[in-house]
C-alpha cells in the first residue's frame, strides 16, 4: 500500500474538524499549526529513512482533560486553565508512536456526567442526529471518530465515559483495567477508578492505540470457541428498550451460530445502586474542595452533584467501599466460569439534548446502567457497534455490544473483537453527518 504523507492526512483531518465544528461542536480547541508542524517533521523523518512508527502521521483527537505539552487543559470548565509543561504519560506514548494530536475535544464539565451538554462550551452534538447527545463524558472524542474526523480519539472512563459515547455514536471504545494505562497528567475525577482509553473506527485502531498507551506486550491468544455469560439479574431487570433487547438477542444467537457458548450466569446483587455514588463521593469532594472554597463557578448540573457529595457520610462511604469489594469478588468468581460477560453497552439508542429524563428515569442512571459497575470492579470492557442495526431507526445509531473481561485481559478482549469484526458481526459505519473517511486509519 502506498504511503500517504502525514501532512496529507493531518490536513484532511483538520479540514474535517473545522467543517464539522459549527454543527457538532466537537472541539474546545483545534491545533492547526502544531499538528501540521508535527506532520511535516514526521514526513521528513520518514523520507530520511527513519523507521515508520506504528501510528506515524495518524491524526488523533484528545479529550480536554488530558495534558498536552504547551496546550491549555480546561477540563470543560468555566475557570480551570492549565498550560501543560509536559505531556501526560499516555500522550507521550502516542506521540512516540508517531500520532499527531489535532485538537482537544469537548466533554461533560469536569468529566462528571454522561451527556457532554456543557454549560460553558456548549453541547457536543451526535452526528447521527444533532438534536441528541453523543453521551459522555468523552462526547467530543466519540464524535471526532463517528463523524470521520480522526480514526482514533482518546477519552477517559470513570463510570462509562468511553463506552457510553462509543455506543451512542456507533463506534468502538475500550475501558481498560484500572492502572493499565498511566493516569499521570490526567485531571482526576475519581482516581481510584479512573481510566484512560481509546475510541476508534476499527478494532485494529483500538489495538494500536491500546498497545502504545499501555506498553502491554502480551500476545493475542489464538482464536477459539469462547464461553460467554449474560449476567442475571443485571440484564433481566435493566431499563433496556425493546429494540436494543431485540438486537442483543440477535447478536447472542449469531454468536452461538458461529460456535460460541452463550448462557445466563447468576450474579447475585450485581445491579446498580446508590452505592455507586456513595463509594466515590468523598474522592469527588476532595478533588474540588479547593476550587469550591474559592467560590469558583460551576455549571448547575455539576454544582448540584458536588453539593450532593457533601451529604454522603463517612459511614456510608465505608459501607459503599465494602460493597465495592463484594462486587469485585462477584465479577472475579463469574469470570472463572466464563471467558467474558456480555451485555448491551447502553440500554437505549438516544438521549435528547436538554431533556433530563429518558422515559421516566434520569438519563444518567439509564445511560450508565451497564457501564458504571465495571469501573468499580476495575475490570476491562469493550464496546462494539452492531452494523446495520441503526439505519432502520432514522437518525439513530446502531446498537452496541459490551464485553467484560477479567482484569488485564485486554489482549483477549481485543482479539475477540477483531474476530467478530472479521466475521462482520460488529463493525463501524459512518454517521449520516460525517466527513470523508480519515486517511491513515
The C-alpha cell that represents 396 in the structure block: 439513530
Q: Among residues 115, 137, 202, 435, which one is catalytic?
A: 137
Specify the 3-state DSSP secondary structure of 72.
strand
Give every strand in the sheet of 172-175, ordered side by side: 27-30, 100-105, 59-63, 152-156, 196-200, 172-175, 381-385, 400-404, 340-344, 227-232, 261-266
Placement of cell 480547541 in the chain? 29
Give the Cα separation of 4 and 27 in Å (integer).
Answer: 25
Cα–Cα distance list, 100 to 37, 349, 375 (Å) = 10, 32, 29
Identify the active-site residue in 63, 202, 238, 400: 63
| Coil/strand/helix, residue 199 | strand
Cell 494530536 sits at which residue? Answer: 101
Phi and psi dihedrals of 118, rounded to 5? -95, 125
Separation between Cα atoms, residue 77 and residue 379, nearest integer Å: 29
CA 76/CA 129 separation, integer angstroms: 22
Please give the span between the terminal C-alpha atoms of the chain, in angstroms, as a whole number.
Answer: 13
Q: Is 63 a catalytic residue?
A: yes
Task: Choose, from 115, 116, 161, 434, the residue flagged as catalytic.
Answer: 161
Paired with 104 in beta bridges are 29, 62
Residue that the C-alpha cell 457533601 belongs to: 310
* Residue 380: Cβ within 10 Å count: 28
CB 194 within 8 A of CB 66: no
**How does DSSP assign 111-149, residue by residue?**
G-SSS-EETTTEE--BTTBTTB---SSSHHHHHHHHTTS
Residue 161 annotated among the catalytic residues of the structure: yes
CA nearest to 428, candidates 381, 387, 394: 387
What residues are annotated to the active site?
63, 137, 161
Amino acid at each position: 500500500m502506498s504511503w500517504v504523507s502525514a501532512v496529507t492526512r493531518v490536513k484532511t483531518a483538520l479540514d474535517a474538524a473545522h467543517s464539522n465544528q459549527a454543527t457538532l461542536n466537537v472541539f474546545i480547541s483545534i491545533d492547526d499549526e502544531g499538528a501540521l508542524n508535527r506532520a511535516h517533521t514526521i514526513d521528513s523523518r520518514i523520507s530520511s529513512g527513519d523507521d515508520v512508527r506504528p501510528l506515524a502521521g495518524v491524526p488523533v483527537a484528545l479529550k480536554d482533560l488530558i495534558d498536552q505539552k504547551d496546550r491549555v487543559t480546561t477540563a470543560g470548565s468555566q475557570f480551570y486553565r492549565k498550560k501543560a509543561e509536559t505531556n501526560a504519560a499516555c500522550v507521550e506514548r502516542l506521540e512516540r508512536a508517531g500520532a499527531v494530536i489535532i485538537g482537544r475535544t469537548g466533554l461533560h464539565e469536569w468529566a462528571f456526567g454522561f451527556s457532554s451538554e456543557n454549560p460553558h462550551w456548549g453541547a457536543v452534538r451526535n452526528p447521527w442526529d444533532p438534536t441528541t447527545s453523543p453521551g459522555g463524558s468523552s462526547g467530543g472524542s466519540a464524535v471526532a471518530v463517528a463523524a470521520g474526523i480522526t480514526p482514533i480519539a482518546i477519552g477517559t472512563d470513570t463510570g462509562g465515559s468511553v463506552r457510553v459515547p462509543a455506543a451512542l455514536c456507533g463506534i468502538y471504545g475500550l475501558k481498560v483495567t484500572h492502572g493499565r494505562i498511566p493516569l499521570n497528567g490526567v485531571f482526576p475525577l475519581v482516581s481510584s477508578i479512573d481510566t484512560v482509553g481509546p475510541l476508534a473506527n476499527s478494532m485494529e485502531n483500538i489495538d494500536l492505540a491500546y498497545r502504545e498507551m499501555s506498553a502491554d506486550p502480551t500476545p493475542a491468544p489464538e482464536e477459539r470457541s469462547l464461553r460467554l455469560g449474560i449476567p442475571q439479574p443485571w440484564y433481566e431487570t435493566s431499563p433496556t428498550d425493546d429494540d436494543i433487547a431485540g438486537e442483543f438477542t440477535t447478536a447472542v444467537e449469531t454468536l452461538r451460530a458461529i460456535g460460541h457458548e452463550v448462557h445466563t450466569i447468576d450474579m447475585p446483587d450485581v445491579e446498580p445502586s446508590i452505592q455507586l455514588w456513595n463509594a466515590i463521593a468523598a474522592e469527588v469532594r476532595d478533588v474540588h474542595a479547593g476550587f469550591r472554597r474559592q467560590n469558583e463557578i460551576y455549571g448547575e448540573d455539576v454544582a448540584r452533584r458536588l453539593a450532593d457529595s457533601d451529604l454522603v457520610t463517612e459511614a456510608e462511604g465505608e459501607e459503599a467501599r465494602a460493597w465495592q469489594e463484594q462486587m469485585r469478588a462477584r465479577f472475579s468468581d463469574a469470570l472463572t466460569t466464563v471467558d467474558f460477560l456480555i451485555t448491551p453497552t447502553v440500554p437505549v439508542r438516544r438521549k435528547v439534548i436538554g431533556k433530563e429524563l429518558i422515559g421516566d428515569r434520569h438519563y444518567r442512571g439509564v445511560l450508565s446502567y451497564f457501564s458504571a459497575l465495571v469501573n468499580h470492579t476495575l475490570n476491562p470492557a469493550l464496546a462494539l457497534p452492531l452494523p446495520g442495526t441503526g439505519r432502520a431507526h432514522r437518525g439513530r445509531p446502531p446498537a452496541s455490544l459490551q464485553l467484560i473481561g477479567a482484569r488485564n485481559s485486554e489482549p483477549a478482549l481485543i482479539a475477540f473483537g477483531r474476530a467478530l469484526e472479521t466475521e462482520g458481526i460488529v463493525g463501524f459505519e459512518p454517521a449520516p453527518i460525517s466527513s470523508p473517511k480519515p486517511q491513515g486509519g
